[in-house]
């Protein structure tokens, strides 16, 4: 897939109504700070279209990026960010759940998991939510550049063991720094949009 244009089109707060889009959507889910916004920038060859931050909880809205006037990348708010109240955390969860439940254009959900750590309970819950809503998430193991090459297979195995994804689930290791994994992800998106 060649990116010809990318712009932030819609930002939805916790209580906003979700837009009824007319183009296919590709969503990016995962805990706070896992690298969702960095992945979106990496795929789009943009340094800072999606705002990133070393402080977790940067993206607290659902952001729709219009890509090539052909599809949307949907940056979902991260979960598991400890510094917010229980109430707000519950609202985020509701918002993400509502999105998964109501979007009519959603074609593919990427679930991002930090390759360095064993997936959390929240990662497992998120995986199950996505499956319950009828999607088979593709897992992206982020921050690949932060581990030694010799650790990669072992860590991917830990992710599989913990998440217990449905058979055939693809896990793509990705680094926003080296862009490793980028072409594979773009190809997957292209294939899914064409279906
Ligand atoms: P929220 O918006 O809070 O949900 O976070 P997010 O998932 O969008 O994470 P974001 O892309 O803002 O990245 C969080 C931090 O991790 C930033 O400091 C990024 O620079 C860093 N980061 C993201 N991806 C990578 C990666 O592949 N390699 C390295 N080394 N750092 C990364
Ligand atoms: Mg973000």
Secondary structure (DSSP) of 152-163: HHHHHHHHHHHH
Look at residue 105 in the predicted model and tell me its pLDDT. 95
Q: Which of 14-23, 26-35, 81-90 has the highest mean pLDDT?
A: 26-35
Residues with CB under 6 A from ligand 1: 30, 32-38, 52-54, 56-59, 78, 142-143, 145-146, 175-177
- Token look-up 């999105």 returns 99
Calculate ∠ Cα 109-49-104, nearest 5°.
30
C-alpha 3 – ligand 1 centre gap (Å): 21
DSSP H helices in the chain: 36-44, 86-102, 121-132, 152-163, 182-194
C-alpha 43 – ligand 2 centre gap (Å): 14
Residue 31 DSSP class: B
Give mean pLDDT, residues 183-191. 96
C-alpha 22 – ligand 2 centre gap (Å): 24
Report phi then psi at 115, rounded to 5: -65, -15
Q: Rounded CA gap, 115 and 106, in Å?
A: 25
Give the confidence band of 92 by pLDDT, cuts at 50, 70, 90. Answer: confident
C-alpha 41 – ligand 1 centre gap (Å): 10
pTM of the model: 0.94
Tokens found for residue 57 = 């909880």
Fold of 6-194: Rossmann fold (3.40.50)
Residue 81 pLDDT > 70: no
Look at residue 56 in the predicted model and tell me its pLDDT. 67
Look at residue 82 in the predicted model and tell me its pLDDT. 59
Report phi then psi at 9, rounded to 5: -105, -45
Give mean pLDDT, residues 55-77. 87
Helix orientation angle between 86-102 and 121-132, rounded to the nearest 10 degrees: 30
The ligand that comes nearest to the alpha carbon of residue 36 is 1
What digits encode the pLDDT tens for the residues 113-136? 999 999 999 899 899 989 999 999
Using alpha carbons, select from 191, 1, 141, 25 the residue that is nearest to residue 12: 25
pLDDT exceeding 70 applies to what percent of the chain?
94
Closest residue CA from atom 28 of ligand 1 = 143
Query: Could you tell me which residue, 129 or 171, shows the higher pLDDT?
Result: 171
Residue 78 pLDDT > 80: yes
Residue 177 pLDDT > 90: yes
């Amino acid at each position: 897939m060649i990116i010809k244009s990318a712009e932030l089109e819609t930002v939805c707060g916790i209580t906003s109504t979700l837009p009824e889009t007319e183009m296919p959507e590709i969503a990016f889910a995962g805990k706070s700070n896992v690298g969702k916004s960095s992945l979106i920038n990496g795929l789009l060859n943009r340094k800072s279209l999606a705002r990133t931050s070393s402080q977790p909880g940067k993206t607290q809205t659902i952001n729709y990026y219009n890509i090539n006037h052909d599809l949307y990348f949907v940056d979902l708010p991260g979960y598991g960010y400890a510094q917010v109240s229980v109430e707000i955390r519950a609202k985020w969860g509701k918002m993400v759940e509502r999105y998964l439940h109501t979007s009519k254009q959603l074609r593919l959900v990427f679930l991002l998991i930090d390759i360095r750590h064993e997936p959390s309970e929240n990662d497992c819950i998120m995986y199950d939510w996505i499956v319950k809503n009828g999607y088979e998430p593709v897992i992206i193991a982020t921050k690949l550049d932060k581990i030694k090459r010799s650790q990669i297979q072992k860590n991917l195995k830990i992710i599989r063991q913990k998440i217990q994804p449905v058979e055939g689930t693809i896990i793509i290791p990705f680094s926003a720094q080296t862009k490793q994994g980028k072409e594979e992800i773009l190809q997957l998106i292209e294939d899914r949009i064409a279906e």
